[in-house]
Amino acid sequence: MPEFLLLALLGGIGVALVAGPLGSFVVWRRMAYFGDTLAHSALLGIAVGVLFDINFNLAVVSCCVILALILVSLQRQRLVATDTLLGIMAHSSLSLGLVAVALLDDVRVDLMEYLFGDLLAITPTDLFWIYGGGGVVMLLIWKLWNPLLAVTINEELAQVEGVPVARIRLALMLLIGVVIAIAMKVVGILLITSLLIIPAASARRLASSPEQMAVIASLLGVVAVILGLSASMQFDTPAGPSVVVAALVQFLLLYSLPIRSVA
Amino acid sequence: MSPANLVEITGLNISFGNNSVVENVSMALKRGEITTLIGPNGAGKTTLVKAVLGLLSPTSGTIKRSSALRIGYMPQKLHIDTTFPLTVARFLKTAAFASIEDRIVALQSVRAEHLLKQSVHSLSGGEMQRVLLARALLRKPELLVLDEPAQGVDINGQTELYKLIASIRDKYNCAVLMISHDLHLVMAATDQVICLNHHICCSGHPEQVSADPSYIELFGIPGAESLALYSHHHNHQHNNHGDILPLPDEQESDHHHCGGHH
């Protein structure tokens, strides 16, 4: 196996593993559009990273977190409906990012690489970020698993029972921000949410507990990465979108098979 | 703070922006007593309950709770997305502070142990409410707060649910604060009724409240009538309602008869 393919495979698998449990929360809490909005702001993070010469991963994570905080505070003021607010922020942050990148005329930023990912150009440094960042995310999800579930079931009930709801919600946003930063290289800004939600939605078909759903989502994600990459090699298609298409095929198969519904 | 009181509320005001929702409310919750909050929609009942739970902070006034008060809470509705695979057992397990024995005992005390392995998405309204009640009991509560516990439960289930709540009060000797619209069903088991329309219109024992002009103004004669019915059921000496509720004798004896069946 050529080295670039091995790196691509390892990178994709790392992202798929961590996307499983986090994607489950995105599905349960109906945060798909929220994830999209955060992902769109990642390009702004790249521009900021170039401008101030900061590590791109750090810049993207901070940009996602700042956007999430702004979102939460705007949501509280109820100026407009949440979906309108998300729509405004998603597209304006993407546009701001595109404009900012264009203004940095002395630096060439390969837009396609960030918008759709460049799985086949993953470097060992990227792998370090994927497994380092992903490992930290996994550890935190493991530690916070029960309070995360309690907050997902009902925030007020959780608060009465002594769960620090505000901090847990913030932690979840932070984790999503980190995953977006590390998954950007694999599927790109525009497709990140699909890697979070499609395997999780497929896993729902087979799972009867939240733990099962998280694990199955990870495994389905890994299979999608392997299938997508092979297809990409075979048919010379772009790697990131091929992975998403593979995940979609899994989803369609699982939902068309007559499986007895569980829990 | 008097030692008999678990919660003491004095001069409580809560407003959102310019919208004053709770006005000058003072009340106390006592161990072993069931307090029922009634009032029209938008009267501030849920807001008041959330303030008692500590989910909302007062705009002015004080809420004193006895130290380390254990509160069990049953929210009005539990919306769990159907994409969330969850059995009753796993749902109760997310209350990490409770042991397995606690969870079984809580389910038994609401007579729902047979639901343990079922998906929460397959429960009927009444079953879901009992599971939620079990969850509230996991805290071994000194104060049980129930926001419209009988919502979405059929009429037979409602009577049973209110009986269950009364029996839980007896078993745990806890204070119960609940919001209810089912006046005629809750009154029999209520020690204190608080009629809320932003401010407290009237409060006291069910019989007193039913005779209060401000109560009748708020709910009209039919509401007061159904309340009087239960006062009769409790105490057949009460004929002084005649002043407010001019019922013919025949009809009143009908009510006696009807009350006897419940």
Q: What is the DSSP-derived secondary structure letter of residue A257? A: S
Q: Domains in chain A, start-ordered, CATH in brackets?
A: 3-190 (1.10.3470.10)
Interface A-B: count of C-beta contacts within 8 A: 70
Beta carbons within 10 angstroms of residue B4's beta carbon: 12
What digits encode the pLDDT tens for the residues B210-253?
777 777 777 765 555 555 444 433 333 334 443 334 344 433 33
What digits encode the pLDDT tens for the residues B132-184?
999 999 988 999 999 998 888 888 888 888 888 999 999 889 999 999 877 77
Q: Domains in chain B, start-ordered, CATH in brackets?
A: 5-204 (3.40.50.300), 207-262 (no CATH)
Q: Does A152 touch chain B (CB under 8 A)?
A: yes
CB A60 within 8 A of CB A46: yes
What digits encode the pLDDT tens for the residues A21-31?
999 999 999 88
Comparing C-alpha atoms, which of B192, B148, B198, B235 is closest to residue B16? Answer: B198
User: Could you give the percent of chain B with pLDDT greater than 90?
Assistant: 38
Question: Predicted ipTM?
Answer: 0.86
Inter-chain contact B84–A28, Cβ cutoff 8 Å? yes
Give the pLDDT confidence score for residue B223 in this predicted structure: 52
Token reading at B60 = 């002015």
Inter-chain contact A208–B119, Cβ cutoff 8 Å? yes
More confident residue, B255 or A147: A147
Q: Residue B16 — φ and ψ, nearest 5°? A: -110, 110
Q: How far is CA A151 from CA A90, A139, A162, in A?
A: 25, 18, 11
Nearest-by-CA chain B residue for A165: B55
How buried is B252 (Cβ within 10 angstroms: 0-12 exposed, 13-18 middle, 19+ buried)?
Answer: middle
| Residues present in chain A in total | 263
Which region holds residue B173: left if phi is over 0, alpha if psi is between -120 and 50, else beta?
left
Q: Residue B177 — φ and ψ, nearest 5°? A: -120, 120
Residues of B in contact with A157 (CB under 8 A): 73, 75, 78, 135
More confident residue, A263 or A14: A14
Inter-chain contact B135–A159, Cβ cutoff 8 Å? no
Give the C-alpha separation, A27 to A150, whole Å.
Answer: 15
